[in-house]
Structure 1
Amino acid sequence: MKTILITGTSSGLGRAAVELFAASGWNVIATMRSPEKETELNILEGVFVTRLDVLDQDSIAEAIQAGIERFGKIDALVNNAGYGQNGVFESISREQIIKQFETNVIGVMDVTRGIIPHFRANGGGTLINISSCGGLIGIPNISIYSSSKFAIEGFSESISYELASQNITVKLVEPGGFDSNYAATTEHNKPALPLPHAYDDFLEDVNRFFLWLSTDKGISMEDVAKKIYEAATDGKTQLRYVIPGVVEPLVEARQTMGNQEFVDMMRVRLNQ
């Protein structure tokens, strides 16, 4: 029986992934910042709920060790914990930028650093980082979130070559918008700085752009969880697993157009 550690499982995609892996016969180390509040995952067979805060290095080491003590070893890791910071760059404070990168980037790196020695000692493992199509395409009004995911893309691709020498496979799952709790979490992370009225017309264009993107979501958290499961079990060395969702036209355009052609297309979409 294989074991997987998943971060950020108190809600949303992480929770859906725990339920799917557990139902598929895996042992699951379901980590979250406040496990004392959990009342459902901890009664599932094969699920061990424990504390892990990606901003707390001690909690990372303790969660990994507790999982090993519970199940013997860990075969796979899903770096899922993170959140989205919305807003025009000029309205995002330096503190908010640091918090976004500490959680979405440094936190992923710290958990990854914590698991590598265990994977190597056991002859290998699978590392899955949850990115976003916003890490493939620069999208206005989410520049800080998008740039944090661009960082995860570069980090994951780079270490995939390094860790292949250790028999550790690195994978990226890249959702492109799905029915999740993203809007609810970003509501708590509103821009801290006032935005000049000079952006008023631009924001109207951006709102129309996002309305065009969100006309039909179609992709559920369970669909994304299935893609994570596929990445963990298909035995491939494939790096990227794209789930286009609502940004499918933009992903396809990014893959087929030249760089400047794509930027020009985006500017037309934004009426610039």
Structure 2
Amino acid sequence: MPDPIIALENVCKSYDIAGGESLTVLDNISFTVGEGDFVAVVGPSGSGKSTLLNILSGLQNPTNGSLEAPAPEEIGFVFQRARLLPWRTVEKNLSITREARAANRREPFKQGVGDYLEAVGLSDYADFYPAALSGGMQQRVSIARALATEPAMLLMDEPFSALDEMTARTQRAFLRDLWLERRPTVMFVTHNVMEAISLATSVVVLSSRPGRVLDHIVIDAEYPRSLTDPAVEAVHERVMELLGVPASDRVAL
């Protein structure tokens, strides 16, 4: 078995607050992620999901514990909102990121910017400015921008949470198909349990603050997924149970 691309062991993160006190956000986080895995992280608000991504990306350092992850220049990040530069065209939004990464690469990029726009179905929009695109299209551009740097790992922080549900469903299907085709390693943070189960190869469930790993559940089910599949239904019930959601409040996939 190959070495994991991510390995966390007893990772903790605390912040100093007023009065000389400290606030612990993550407590003894341990799990591994293999190359090509799609791992979703779910948990209550304040459980440290986004903090975990920030630590993996190198934006923050853990307070304690050990961490193995790709170098920051080998990581692509997709945020809740597209964060495109409004004065640059779609193509130039991708190009500026590649230009910033080029100096730190040991080898040339394998594909051109146009290949990544084609991958997200936006080849015809290369010369458009972001304001001319829908929210879902802008988010596709942000995914293409992250992929265009040819990262070893893709971090996604609730990328579809700002979209309406119908658009979000379309984007989930798009991301699923893109991942199945290209198999990037993905760490995907979401509040949406159904979203996590429909996309991921495994789900890390965090407790309320301080975030601790309650379980790391492998999902052995074919795509596309439905709760009529017993394996998917079992994972859904397990995650909802861990999160303390009453049976009467659980929504079908």
What TM-score bracket applies, with the shorter chain setting the length? Answer: 0.3 to 0.5
Using structure 1 for the length normalisation, give the TM-score.
0.33
Which protein has greater RCO, CA pairs closer than 8 Å, 6+ apart? 2
Q: Which has the higher helix share?
A: 1
Using structure 2 for the length normalisation, give the TM-score.
0.35
